Amino acid sequence: MTTGRISFSRPYPALREMKNLRAALDSGHLHGDGPFTKAATTKLRHITSAPHVLLTTSCTHALELSCILLDLGPGDEVIVPSFAFTSAATAVTLRGATCVFVDIDPDTGNVDPSAVADAITHRTRAVIVMHYGGVAADMAPLLYLADVHGFHLIEDNAHGLGGAWQDRPLGTIGTFGTQSFHDTKNIHCGEGGALLLSDDILAERAEIIREKGTDRARFLRGLVDKYSWWDHGSSYLPSELNAAVLDAQLDEFATIQAERHRVWSAYASAFSDWADRRGVRRMTVPPDREHTAHLYYLRMPDEARRDALITDLAEQGIVAPFHYVPLDTSPAGLKYGRTPEPCSRSAEFASTLIRLPLWPTLTDDQIGRVVDAVTGHSW
Ligand SMILES: *Cc1c(COP(=O)(O)O)cnc(C)c1O
């Protein structure tokens, strides 16, 4: 059995990364929207079935782009789960709109549709739905509420590329889907992201906002003979260097996912009896959802025992961190948000959760070491 540090996450080394990077550098075309952007975009369209895919510089920027597309402004409200990454909140507050924080469903860590229903006002413009760990949120009631009340769903699908809810690909169920290619995600290019859209008119406008407010994309397609300033905008397109790595990663999407599921399933079976005996709650996946093996977590009986396990594993060279700190009670959440009901399930979820090392080239020996360290921990 090997010893040595087991990191929490490790970017997958895709075969063609160096070859693609060399080709991009040799081509002299390094700014965005070149051949590697086109190739990677096609692969993402294939994986997600999204009619429109726009590569972005990050998932954070794809969320910001969604909020610009909704013309959010002061007085508007967006419902955000308390247990989520900060980008969901900052995309809203950057526009001067208000985050309304709601509680989660402790079985999945995802937004609780009944908490959403209770938080709706005439100012509600959107709900940001994060699929935690690549396990889909309970979409049916959210789609119903969005339809009845006329607001939009923004799927923060940073964890969920290739996942599904009732056979519908994650990221394509709401008006917007946002992906992350940060190097801790299943597919990466260092830093990067994508916006998925099905609406043609929104997609056309997104293309303009992404390119500094100009119709440069139409110009590149030969549809106009010069490009000009049309709308709000920023620079949300990644360079060809990022796209070159992303394209190499996407070539091996099936392998990466299969290896991640190998690790996930090994944990799931290794901990089943032990967890039940010790009152530890395991990550679960409802039957109508295909998850993405983005992460594997356990929920300890309380915060003290969770912290003790993190420390014990660290002493054995195993990096197993907690995750999001609830947004509603964070300093900026108190300043820029409104929390109609205390988010106690989110607080409990966040304070008991521990994530285990999960990456495609984690060996069976290393998985064994993690399992032994967790089940051998005494409390
Ligand atoms: C990583 C992550 C983000 C941010 O992604 P970037 O590409 O780093 O901007 C947003 N939401 C969730 C759920 C994430 O895990």
**CA–centroid distance, residue 345 to ligand 1 (Å):** 22
pLDDT band at 2 (very low <50, low <70, confident <90, very high): low
How far apart (Å, rounded) are the C-alpha atoms in residues 303 and 362? 28
pLDDT per residue as tens digits for the range 92-127: 999 999 999 999 999 999 999 999 999 999 999 999
How far apart (Å, rounded) are the C-alpha atoms in residues 173 and 288? 15
Cα atoms found within 13 Å of the Cα of residue 80, Cβ hemisphere only: 32
pLDDT per residue as tens digits for the range 24-67: 999 999 999 999 999 999 999 999 999 999 999 999 999 999 99
Q: Which residues line ligand 1 (CB under 6 A)?
A: 58-60, 85, 87, 130, 156, 158-159, 180, 182, 193
CA nearest neighbour of 102 among 344, 322, 323: 344
Token readout for 121 is 């006002």
pTM here? 0.97
The top-level CATH class assigned to 17-251 is: alpha beta
Q: Is 327 within 8 Å of 268 (Cβ atoms)?
A: no
pLDDT per residue as tens digits for the range 285-294: 999 999 999 9
- Domain range summary for the chain, segments of one domain joined by +: 17-251, 253-375
Question: Which of 56, 82, 87 most suits a substitution to test ligand 1, by most atoms within 8 Å of the C-beta?
Answer: 87
What percentage of the chain's residues is helix, strand, coil (to nearest 5)?
40, 15, 40
Q: Do domains 17-251 and 253-375 have the same CATH topology?
A: no
Q: Is 328 within 8 Å of 304 (Cβ atoms)?
A: no
CA nearest neighbour of 127 among 165, 176, 194, 61: 176
Q: Is 107 within 8 Å of 285 (Cβ atoms)?
A: no
pLDDT per residue as tens digits for the range 58-87: 999 999 999 999 999 999 999 999 999 999
157-196: buried (b, 16+ CB within 10 Å) or exposed (e) per residue? bbbbbbbbbeeebbbbbbbbbbbbbbbebbbbbebbbbbb
**CA–centroid distance, residue 219 to ligand 1 (Å):** 31
pLDDT per residue as tens digits for the range 344-378: 999 999 999 999 999 999 999 999 999 999 999 98
CA nearest neighbour of 194 among 243, 253, 256: 243
pLDDT per residue as tens digits for the range 232-265: 999 999 999 999 999 999 999 999 999 999 999 9
Q: Which amino acid is at 182?
A: H
How far apart (Å, rounded) are the C-alpha atoms in residues 242 and 339? 38
**CA–centroid distance, residue 331 to ligand 1 (Å):** 20
SS3 156: strand
Which atom in ligand 1 lies closest to the alpha carbon of residue 180?
7
Beta strands in 11-91 (DSSP E): 52-56, 77-81
**CA–centroid distance, residue 278 to ligand 1 (Å):** 33
**CA–centroid distance, residue 118 to ligand 1 (Å):** 27
Residue 341 reports pLDDT greater than 90: yes
Ligand 1: which residue has its CA nearest to atom 2? 158
pLDDT per residue as tens digits for the range 188-236: 999 999 999 999 999 999 999 999 999 999 998 899 999 999 999 999 9
337-338 and 289-290 strand pairing: unpaired
Token readout for 84 is 């989520």
Give the chain's mean pLDDT.
97
Token readout for 171 is 């990221």
Q: How far is CA 226 from CA 29, 205, 220, 222, 342, in A?
A: 20, 17, 9, 9, 53
SS3 7: coil
- What homologous superfamily does CATH list for 253-375? Aspartate Aminotransferase, domain 1 (3.90.1150.10)
